[in-house]
Amino acid sequence: MKQLESEAQYDELKNAGKHIFLFSADWCPDCRVIEPILPEIEQKYPEYSFVHVDRDKFIDICIANDVFGIPSFIAYEDGKELGRFVSKDRKTQQEIENFIQSL
C-alpha cells in the first residue's frame, strides 16, 4: 500500500484515478487488527489504488474530510467521492469488502 507523503499528493491522487484512502495511525489497535488482511483486499480490487494516510501526520486532511475515527476509508474517482466507511469502530474484512463492493 502506498504511503501518503504530502497534502499536495493527496489532492493529486484524489483528483485523478480511482483511489481508496485508509486513514490510520501507528498507535491504533483496531488499525493493527486489519493490517494483515489489507494485501488480500488490495489484490481483490485492483481497479483501486490504496493509499495509507497517517492520521497524525495529516491531521488537517482528516479534519477537512470529517475523519475523526480510525481506521476509516474514503474512496474517490477523478475528484468525486464515491463513498466513505468512516467510524471509530473495528472493521472486519467482510465489512471492508462490502464497502468496496457498494461503491
Nearest Cα to Cα of residue 68 among 81, 53, 55 = 55
- β-pair partners for 54: 24
| Domain limits for position 48 | 2-101
Nearest Cα to Cα of residue 81 among 90, 91, 72 = 72
Catalytic residue of the set 22, 28, 41, 53: 28
Catalytic residue of the set 4, 22, 31, 38: 31
Q: What CATH number does residue 57 fall under?
A: 3.40.30.10
Q: Into how many domains does the chain fold?
A: 1
Per-residue pLDDT, averaged over 63-76, amounts to 96
Per-residue pLDDT, averaged over 51-69, amounts to 96
Is 31 an active-site residue? yes
Which residues make Cβ contacts (< 8 Å) with residue 81, sequence separation at least 6?
74, 75
Calculate what percentage of the chain has a pLDDT beyond 90: 96
Which residues make Cβ contacts (< 8 Å) with residue 97, sequence separation at least 6?
41, 44
What's the pTM value of the predicted model, to 2 decimals? Answer: 0.95
Give 36-53 pLDDT, tens digit per residue.
Answer: 999 999 999 999 999 999
